[in-house]
Amino acid sequence: MSEAHQAPSSLAGAAEQRIPPSVFMLTAAIAVIGCNSLGLSPIAPEVARSFGTSVPAVMGGTAAFGLGTAASALLLARHIDRVGAWRMLRLAFGLLTLSLAASAVAPAAAVLIAAQFCAGIAAGVAVPAIYANAAAIAPPGRETKTVGLMLTGWTLSMVAGVSLSAALADWLHWRAVYCAIALLSAGALLALLSNGRRDLPSSGSAPSPLAALSIPGVPPLLLACGAFMTAFYGVYAYLGDHLHQELGLPLSANGVITVAYGLGFGSAAFLDGLEKRLPVRLTLPLAFAAVCLVYILMTSGSGSYSSVLLLTLLWGFTNHFGLNLLIVRLTALRPSRRGTIMGMNSAVTYLATFAGTLGFGPLYAAFGFAALTALAAALMILAVAAALAPVSSAALEFEPEH
């Protein structure tokens, strides 16, 4: 990195080091998507009762959302670099708003699942576009901080969104949850339409999403992402039902758990930059190893609400570092193809949502919640091994400043 970036000598140079206000808009956009992608699990028992079906059947909505997101990320996110990340983000939020409104009025579980599939199509474009925009507008040397700030949108969705959804389902009706998220999505769309950000589209043709696999360092990181996210969604999907059915707690207790996760996830943002004290190659594996340890502790502590509460706080804390460092590592590999790489990242992430939600269901039904956390720990060992795969320094067009 040039000396001019490291020690700006003018007011203009100093201004370039400030995180731009647009990052807060991206944070809000992530929060809206997070409210939907994480919101069904806490209210699933009430939705299942309303439709006269089972919780695993209702959680098919989350699986459909994941499948739609993965398909969209593979087929549509490839156009982000060519069309422009801001334009694609605006189009995606238009579809997301309509899909959430359809979820709110769904007359049957099948319609809810279909609406969530459409919401997934929107998210499959929106999430990589948000990640690509955050990386693109980050000041030199402040990439980790910028991405970390954007990722606090997931915290907002958990603390202020998902937790309130459980309360809304208790006090009013589960449909009120999707009405509220649809209104938030409409507000985000208006903000995106009026923010004035313009794109500098790539002049080249849209590459195949699989082209990202030819970039050195991408395949092992995508493998790590798949293991990491399958573990998360597989455990998260059934945590609410475990608290409600096995520990006999009301739906509002699910909201408290989600707040704990969100607070842990958000508090880690204050320590972004701590990883600069460690060798670059070790930061991501160490973060994944910490997540693995939390799952191991959950395996023995899932029978106590107080233990689950504390461990969920640690879960959010460690997951923040894992996700942040994963995104920074991926976007550093080929900045000119951030949209394509983030598209593949989203595809893998939400295939993991689909696999985790459906695949962990039979295990949960047969052996209980502790079996899920044990499997999640095993998956995190795979993530650690994949993150340790060597990548030549020449493969990095950008590397966070140390």
Per-residue pLDDT of the chain (402 residues; tens, 9 = 90+): 333 344 444 434 444 467 667 788 888 888 899 888 877 877 888 888 888 888 878 888 888 888 888 888 788 877 776 777 788 889 999 999 999 999 999 999 999 999 999 999 999 888 888 877 776 776 766 666 777 777 777 677 766 676 677 777 778 888 988 998 999 999 999 988 887 666 555 555 556 667 777 888 889 999 999 999 999 989 988 888 888 787 878 766 777 887 888 788 877 766 655 555 656 678 889 999 999 999 999 998 888 888 889 999 999 999 988 988 898 888 778 776 776 787 788 788 878 877 888 889 889 989 999 999 999 999 999 999 999 987 554 444 444 333
d(Cα 110, Cα 57) in Å, to the nearest integer? 9
- Looking at residue 7, the DSSP 8-state letter turns out to be S
**104 located within any domain:** yes
Alpha helices for 195-274 (secondary structure H): 218-241, 251-267
**Could you tell me if 295 and 377 are in contact, meaning their C-beta atoms sit under 8 angstroms apart?**
yes
Label each residue of 125-177 as H, E or C.
Answer: HHHHHHHHHHHHHCCCCCHHHHHHHHHHHHHHHHHHHHHHHHHHHHHCCHHHH
**Which pLDDT value is given to residue 399?**
40
**Which pLDDT value is given to residue 271?**
67
On the CB side of 195, CA atoms within 13 Å amount to 21
CA nearest to 213, candidates 382, 37, 337, 356:
337
**188 located within any domain:** yes
Q: Which two tokens stand for residue 347?
A: 């595809």
**334 located within any domain:** yes
**Which pLDDT value is given to residue 162?**
66
Q: Which two tokens stand for residue 73?
A: 């990320």
d(Cα 351, Cα 320) in Å, to the nearest integer? 20
CA angle 255, 256, 262 (to 5 degrees): 90
d(Cα 265, Cα 294) in Å, to the nearest integer? 14
Q: Which two tokens stand for residue 31?
A: 């929060």
Q: Report the number of distinct structural domains present in the chain.
A: 1
**8 located within any domain:** no
Domain assignment of residue 391, given as a range = 16-194+207-395
Can you give the CATH number for the domain in which 55 is found? 1.20.1250.20
**Which pLDDT value is given to residue 16?**
47
CA distances from 389 to 132, 230, 285 (A): 24, 20, 10
Q: How many CB atoms lie within 10 A of CB 254?
A: 28
**Which pLDDT value is given to residue 389?**
82
**175 located within any domain:** yes
**2 located within any domain:** no
Taking the CA atoms of 227, 230, 233 and 235 in sequence, report the sign of the dihedral they define: negative
**356 located within any domain:** yes
**400 located within any domain:** no
CA nearest to 37, candidates 55, 62, 60, 57:
62
Q: Which two tokens stand for residue 162?
A: 């998902």
